[in-house]
Structure 1
Amino acid sequence: METLRGPQFTLNDGNTLVTEVVSDDDSHLCLYVLLQDMLKIGDMVVGFDIEWGFKGCSASRSGSTSSRHADHHSQPDKSEHLPRRVEHHIAVLTFCTKLGCVLIRLSPNHISPSLKRFLSIKDIMFVGVHIKEDLHRLRSVNGLVVRNAVDLSELAATIYDQPRFLAYNARELACKISSLKSDPKSLNVLWSNWFDPTLSPEQIESATIEAYATYKIGKKLMESGSSSVKRLFL
């Protein structure tokens, strides 16, 4: 049976995960491997995380093309002095299951049918922390709809009657709920170039930890015994 291929990371709870990094266009086999393993072991919870990236582009100059051509010899080109606009885009999707993690680098102009189908499978529960904005952006900009998604921060706050959980990030929440201890996310990694076609080992490890944390939280909440939680996951 096919399995994931890539670097291995040993988490603080002793588990070792394999993380494969692929482009969206090449994600079909990885998603198939994840799904087959989930069906085999009966665990349909997927830890879901997103890495945002920044891209800068020059502001548009006013005036028609013809007028710019007409002025080419009389005025110097000042395009390099135009202000730059920084745009915030979703760069990487990370999925984590008991088998391992898959990091998918999104294309700015195309979404594969395989990714669309995977996110629309009704039996999969995608769990994440503070993912409402992510889900909205995926739908409005990328045309991706996640059929079954649970925001764990809200769910944990309700189940444990702890409103402060709403402010916790994935690593903090995993520490409180499932005793998974992780170092804070490095600012150097957070602000690194997530659009780089070759992600660094530090980026891959960081994304793996984030997605694994959401998977662990989701499993812990599902196993909490609450009937309302079980209805979400079954």
Structure 2
Amino acid sequence: MLEVRNVSKNFGGVQAVQSVSFTVGDNEIHGLIGPNGAGKTTMLNLISGLLSISGGEIELDGTPVHGLPAEQRARMGIARTFQNLRLFRNLSVRRNIEVAEIRMRGSKVADPALLSDAIDRFGLRGVMEHTPDSLPYGQMRRLEIVRALALRPKVLMLDEPAAGMNHAETDQLFENLTWLRARHPCSIVLIEHDLKFIMSACEKLTVMNMGRLLATGEPAEISSNEEVIKAYLGQGTHSNGRTKNEKLETDA
């Protein structure tokens, strides 16, 4: 559904992303992970069109999109949330969702009941006339996801959706993503620092470090990959005697 081939991004003399390639299968939950500064959010910006690539190619369902503006990519089926919330704070929850629906005018919108079902599932029905600033943080995160769903995406990219959530909210997010993929089959690209969450949620992971591709594979492969362990945790052992390899596998 999504193919990234040898994508690079330069900011002046700085190479933020260096010839990274990975694929996301149809209806797959695909994790994009790595230490802080690895280039993960930059990659989402390149896929969604907020940034232009310096080299490489990006295809959505076999169609090149790397030369298209962000709005056109959104209409074609690339939707996203943001690491730092980008809600219209002076608009109600209802209007925030309707903004995305308006962008789809002129397109054939399938499954008209999707948004109503998502509003109920993500717990927004009782706050539709509230403004985002009046909502708890976790509910604002859920609003961003529902707003992205208004685009009926083929690929939904979530940038740290569990950030700031407590354990119960993270568990609920996992259940909601499982429901979402069954209710509206789409591929999901997930950036998240909670390794336990992402290892449970994803069928495949791509690991970046310092702008480069470090590894791609299933969670079991990634959790035992020495280069990944080194990038996250360094080398050696902890004071409790466990190796850092063991810690990554246990925490994940």
Larger Rg: 1
